[in-house]
Amino acid sequence: DGGITQSPKYLFRKEGQNVTLSCEQNLNHDAMYWYRQDPGQGLRLIYYSQIVNDFQKGDIAEGYSVSREKKESFPLTVTSAQKNPTAFYLCASSTRGPYNEQFFGPGTRLTVL
Amino acid sequence: GEDVEQSLFLSVREGDSSVINCTYTDSSSTYLYWYKQEPGAGLQLLTYIFSNMDMKQDQRLTVLLNKKDKHLSLRIADTQTGDSAIYFCAELSSNDYKLSFGAGTTVTVRA
């Protein structure tokens, strides 16, 4: 089956700890994205990558880091510098170019205690 | 970023039509999308419309686009309980190919 997987579905961490969220896709998509979703605020773009070994900051990159060493994988690290990390995190992928249908993973709900 | 606005809640009776409205600000938008999100899940693309179109129909879904007023709507005919979800409007900027999402409209279908 082709798709995007995110793991784990639920994640709990203590304040001050870094945590890495996994995102893998087997759709052969060049572009991958990380969004944060908070109630009543829609989706906000954290980081995106159009191609392997390259990525750009989105609208709310502070306190987050990413890597794109493989086409299939785009892990997101939530660092201790992120002031309010508790949220629902969504990963997506798409082909490059003007028609940008993004396919979403099931999401990871991160709770920082 | 660009601003995409939607009303936050809509309650509709089963069997009636639902209309979800959205306004956007980026006049260079190429594609506009409607996504559906069920509780605790990711987003699923429902339909999209290219900016040179003014209407698109896909089974129970009808999308209307008014470019002059930068207004997009999604009509769901014969609304069912399975249509209860959050619906997001999104626009694709032709400048950087990034999506901007609205806050989402929570649709509740009542019997």
CB pairs under 8 A between A and B: 57
Query: How far apart are the two ends of chain B, measured CA to CA in Å?
Result: 39
**Cβ atoms < 10 Å from Cβ of B26:** 18
Instruction: Please name the amino acid found at residue A39.
Output: P
pLDDT band at A3 (very low <50, low <70, confident <90, very high): very high
Given A97, A98, A102, which is nearest B99 (Cβ)? A102
Residues of chain A with C-beta less than 8 angstroms from the C-beta of B31: 98-100
Which of B34, B99, B105 best tests the A interface by mutation, with the highest count of A CBs <10 A? B99
Those residues with Cβ within 8 angstroms of residue A92's Cβ, 6 or more apart along the chain or in another chain:
A4, A32, A33, A35, A102, A103, A104, A105, B42, B43
pLDDT band at B26 (very low <50, low <70, confident <90, very high): confident
- φ, ψ at B3 (rounded to 5°): -105, 130
- pLDDT (average), residues B47-67: 92
Residues of chain B with C-beta less than 8 angstroms from the C-beta of A107: 40-42
- φ, ψ at B82 (rounded to 5°): -70, -10
Using the predicted structure, report yes or no on whether residue B1 has a pLDDT greater than 50. Answer: no
For residue A1, the model assigns a pLDDT of 59
Structure tokens at B25: 């600000």
Least confident of A76-85, B78-87, B93-102: B93-102
**Min CA distance, B50 vs chain A (Å)?**
9
Using the predicted structure, report yes or no on whether residue A2 has a pLDDT greater than 80. Answer: no
Whether B102 and B6 have beta carbons less than 8 Å apart is answered as yes
Using the predicted structure, report yes or no on whether residue A100 has a pLDDT greater than 80. Answer: no
Residues of chain B with C-beta less than 8 angstroms from the C-beta of A41: 103
A7-20 pLDDT tens trace:
999 999 998 899 99
Name B12's bridge partners.
Answer: B109
Using the predicted structure, report yes or no on whether residue A4 has a pLDDT greater than 80. Answer: yes
Using the predicted structure, report yes or no on whether residue B2 has a pLDDT greater than 60. Answer: no
| Nearest-angstrom CA–CA distance, A81 and A86 | 13
